[in-house]
Amino acid sequence: MSHTFGDSTTADEVVSAFSAQVKGRVFLITGPSPKGIGEATALSLARGHPSTLILVGRNPAKYEPVAAAIRAIDANVSVKIYGIDLASLSSVREGARKIVTENERIDVVINNAGAVTTTLEKTVDGIEFGFAACHVGHFLLTNLLLPLLRKSEAPRVVNLTSNADIWSSGDYDDYNFDNAPYSYGASYGLAKLANIHFAQYLAKHGNGLLSFSVHPGTVFGTSFLDVLPEPEIAQLKTVVQSMGAREKTHAEGAATTLVAALDPALKDHKGAYLADCQVKPLESEAAKREDLPEKLWRLSETLVKESFTFVPKTCCDRAGG
């Protein structure tokens, strides 16, 4: 790693250290909601004077305050908002088509959005909601954006995960909870494990595409937790405190994302898992299993009803069948 960053490093500090990797470049961020890690990521990037920030989420109006804040930091940054519901495959396809049509390249895709429900819900495509919104939507979107990523000199994909993968055994066969009782913890754990395995597969097969998974740390007070009742949030805080983890600010939570997106030294750590701004060992046995990234990829192709293969970086045609 290039710097001695740690758990209290802020997003602005990372951007300042890697300003050359921000200036003039194009970043796409999913789920950059106000009062969230995604917003903190976008605002810090704006201070580094990128060419374009592409904001992706279900409700475009929700991101207008974030876009306004970006423009207040640097009026020269092009801010584009695309309405995409990551829990709807048709919405992802339509949104990706617009992005590919209206943009020349993307340098970094930051798959930041996440979702959880307290009861078992399925999307219009018949996929458990959390698995769809956290992984399947990002899987499809990222693959459909490969033509733009291939036009970058140094393309990267960053998946936000968490240490909740320790809650999952990696049973992708039961992603819809047909055989096991549903809990938001089990759903979230499987989805966060998928974020890790997705990054690992991209790193191994992406022909020059760098990909990483990042645990932002413990960040409460985000819109992500709005669906949970107060008693359950309080219980989560108790568990976190018992583990000795420190609650982070949004700016601290976004720092690891930006290290993964920007640090040139990470080219030697393809597919790595990062936490507290450093490459860390994987925590769960499921995350270490070498068979699961491939299994997840094939399942994901089945769910989106489309197969994807990788082409050399010099080829800018769409990868897919």
Report the catalytic residues. 188
Instruction: Give the CA distances from residue 155 to residues 32, 62, 108, 140, 168, in Å, rounded to whole numbers and listed in that order.
Output: 20, 28, 6, 17, 30
In whole angstroms, what is the distance from residue 74 CA to residue 311 CA?
36
- Please choose, from the candidates 189, 137, 115, 171, the residue with its C-alpha nearest in 3D space to the C-alpha of residue 303: 137
**Helical pair 292-304 and 184-205, crossing angle rounded to 10 deg:** 100
Tell me which DSSP letter residue 248 carries.
Answer: P
Helix (H, G, I), strand (E, B) or coil at 109: strand
Instruction: Give the CA distances from residue 28 to residues 111, 128, 313, in Å, rounded to whole numbers and listed in that order.
Output: 8, 25, 19
In whole angstroms, what is the distance from residue 105 CA to residue 86 CA?
21
What's the burial of 180, exposed, middle or buried (CB within 10 Å: 0-12/13-18/19+)? Answer: exposed
> Can you say how many angstroms the Cα of residue 256 is from the centroid of all Cα atoms in its chain?
12
∠ CA 305-310-316 to the nearest 5 degrees?
105
- The β-bridge partners of 215 are 275
